[in-house]
């Protein structure tokens, strides 16, 4: 009897993740085109309009990159946590708690130097993200509770806290019926680099290098990989695997929290439910597509930022914004399938 069997390839092309992404993206564009055709829309027109409105001018390019900031930062956080083979599904909550921490510090402190003030607030965002993942990190390390579930649950809790704050103690009377906290003062707005592009983008570049260093060049990154590969090998090597997992989770949560801080200080300027539009979830897709590589996350995050800007403007010609979501999700789907064929080989074998 003949059978098809899977064999793991001994060597995998170095650029395989990039090729998978590319092919996945092409597949996604084809799927998007089919859906547009069904709706009697011309795909080429639609996509070129999207392209023009997302990167065609300084103004649109800067909006796209602004959108990319939270995707990249949260994606980097997810990739750091994945070094110990753990999944952070809680970036969305961490973004919110980052923003909440910023507002909390803003309300309760006073600084004379605005730049120092901004620095403190950014730090508060980072700490807020870390605090958000603290309980999942503790339950993971101490009791072995599955972090996918606990980090997911924290999203709901933090969202609830946000709703409470902006309807209760922090509710801005001036915002009338729209629940939101009061605006922060202009002195703590993040400056822009060009067009509307936030200073946050520079922070993003800096943190991409930082994540790359941490994951790939530092002793800590090595220890995380060993701990993630085999807990027994970690013990054997004298590496405290639980400690590494704990620290990785706090750092990763902090990255997402920082994203929340930047959103608040450069986009929304106040705490509201609009702090994140699912960035924490899209960031999972971004991180997964790139195989958890920081520079890849930077590039794909930027692309996805442009896609969602493009997606939101094509509403004007009567196309649903969901086309952008469909393309993002299909890219991941296609890329994962293609990556599978890079990693494995299918052979015909005699049955045993």
When asked if residue 242 is in the footprint of another protein (CB under 8 A), the reply is no
Residue 40 interacting with another protein (CB under 8 A): no
Question: How many residues in the shown chain lie near another protein by CB under 8 A?
Answer: 25
Q: How far is the CB of 17 from another protein (least distance, A)?
A: 12
Q: How far is the CB of 236 from another protein (least distance, A)?
A: 5
CB of 100 to another protein, least distance (A): 36
Nearest to 84 by CA among 214, 264, 205: 214
Alpha-carbon gap, residue 330 to 308, rounded angstroms: 14
237: contact with another protein by CB under 8 A: yes
Question: In what helix (H) or strand (E) does residue 350 lie, and over which residues does it extend?
Answer: strand 344-350
Of 222 and 281, which CB lies nearer to another protein in the complex structure?
Answer: 222
The residue (of 144 and 168) whose beta carbon lies closer to another protein is 144
Could you say which of 225, 247, 326, 342 contacts another protein (CB under 8 A)?
225
Q: Cα separation of 17 and 23, whole Å?
A: 10
Nearest CA to 335 among 81, 12, 28? 28
Q: Judged by CB under 8 A, does residue 352 bind another protein?
A: yes
Segment 81 to 100, residues that bind another protein, using CB under 8 A: 85
Please tell me whether residue 80 binds another protein under the rule CB under 8 A: no
Q: How far is residue 92 CA from its own chain's centroid? A: 8
Given 4, 8, 108, 186, the residue binding another protein (CB under 8 A) = 8
DSSP bridge pairs for 198: 192
* 219 lies in the binding site for another protein (CB under 8 A): yes
Cβ neighbours of 298 (radius 10 Å) = 24
Nearest alpha-carbon partner for 256 in 108, 97, 140: 97
Residue 4 CB burial class (10 angstroms; 0-12, 13-18, ≥19): exposed
Residues forming the site for another protein (CB under 8 A): 8-12, 14, 85, 217-219, 221-222, 225-226, 228-230, 232-238, 352
């Amino acid at each position: 009897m003949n059978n098809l069997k899977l064999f793991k390839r001994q060597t995998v092309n170095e650029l395989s993740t990039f090729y998978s992404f590319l092919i996945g993206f092409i597949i996604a564009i084809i799927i998007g085109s089919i859906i547009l055709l069904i709706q009697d829309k011309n795909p080429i027109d639609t996509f070129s309009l999207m392209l023009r409105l997302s990167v065609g001018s300084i103004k649109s390019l800067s909006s796209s990159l602004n959108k990319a900031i939270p995707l990249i930062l949260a994606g980097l956080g997810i990739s750091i946590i994945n070094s110990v083979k753990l999944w952070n599904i809680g970036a969305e909550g961490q973004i919110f708690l980052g923003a909440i921490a910023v507002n909390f510090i803003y309300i309760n402190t006073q600084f004379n130097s605005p730049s120092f003030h901004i620095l403190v607030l950014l730090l508060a965002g980072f700490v807020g993200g870390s605090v958000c993942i603290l309980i999942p990190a503790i339950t993971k390390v101490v009791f072995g509770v599955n972090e996918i579930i606990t980090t997911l649950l924290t999203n709901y809790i933090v969202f609830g806290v946000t709703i409470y704050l902006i309807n209760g103690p922090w509710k801005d009377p001036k915002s009338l019926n729209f629940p939101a906290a009061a605006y922060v003062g202009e002195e703590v707005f993040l400056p822009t680099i060009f067009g509307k592009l936030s200073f946050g983008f520079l922070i993003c570049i800096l943190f991409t290098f930082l994540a790359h260093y941490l994951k790939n060049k530092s002793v800590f990154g090595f220890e995380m990989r060993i701990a993630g590969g085999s807990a027994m090998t970690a013990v054997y090597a004298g590496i405290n695997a639980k400690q590494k997992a704990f620290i990785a989770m706090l750092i990763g949560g902090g990255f997402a929290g920082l994203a929340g801080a930047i959103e608040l200080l450069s986009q929304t300027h106040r705490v509201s439910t609009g702090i994140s539009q699912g960035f924490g979830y899209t960031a999972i897709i971004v991180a997964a597509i790139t195989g958890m590589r920081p520079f890849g996350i930077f590039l794909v995050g930027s692309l996805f930022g442009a896609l969602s800007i493009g997606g939101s403007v094509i509403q004007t010609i009567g196309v649903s914004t969901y086309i952008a979501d469909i393309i993002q999700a299909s890219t991941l789907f296609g890329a994962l399938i293609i990556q599978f064929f890079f990693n494995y080989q299918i052979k015909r074998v005699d049955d045993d």
